[in-house]
């Protein structure tokens, strides 16, 4: 059996399922936010803050953030593996993008939970 080093234990089916699942989560979150705007006649700062003060919205926002980051991570990996041929440059760019995505996760979590 051949081990593919660049996939880090993943395969195409795993990535396919993660991409579709994260896309579904993002669509559901978008519908949640859109329904808030449809139901709420006037959106003010206080209404918006009250909406995001609800723990259900906070949890769904963090889940949507995680789904977005998974989607971005796989997408960046696919684009870099297709278009950047030098291994060192591709690996360096993957590390840079992974650090950026991790920073987005930390700052997003801190923003949502107000820690």
5 pLDDT higher than 80: no
65 close to 109: Cβ distance less than 8 angstroms = yes
24-67 tens-digit pLDDT: 999 999 999 999 999 999 999 999 999 999 999 999 999 999 99
- The domain spans of the chain are 13-113
Give the model's pLDDT for residue 12.
82
Architecture of domain 13-113: Up-down Bundle (1.20)
103 close to 69: Cβ distance less than 8 angstroms = no
For every residue of 24-74, which 3-state class applies, written as one string? Answer: HHHHHHHHHHHHHHHHCCCCCHHHHHHHHHCHHHHHHHHHHHHHHHHHHHH
Give the model's pLDDT for residue 11.
79
Give the model's pLDDT for residue 4.
54
Give the model's pLDDT for residue 46.
94
Give the model's pLDDT for residue 115.
72
86 close to 99: Cβ distance less than 8 angstroms = no
């Amino acid at each position: 059996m051949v081990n593919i080093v660049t996939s880090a234990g993943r395969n195409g089916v795993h990535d396919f399922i993660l991409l579709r699942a994260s896309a579904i989560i993002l669509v559901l979150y978008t519908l949640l936010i859109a329904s808030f705007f449809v139901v709420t006649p006037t959106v003010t700062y206080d209404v918006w803050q009250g909406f995001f003060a609800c723990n259900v919205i906070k949890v769904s926002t963090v889940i949507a953030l995680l789904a977005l980051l998974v989607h971005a991570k796989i997408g960046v990996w696919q684009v870099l593996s297709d278009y950047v041929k030098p291994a060192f440059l591709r690996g360096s760019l993957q590390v840079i993008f992974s650090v950026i995505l991790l920073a987005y996760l930390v700052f997003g979590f801190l923003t949502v939970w107000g820690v």
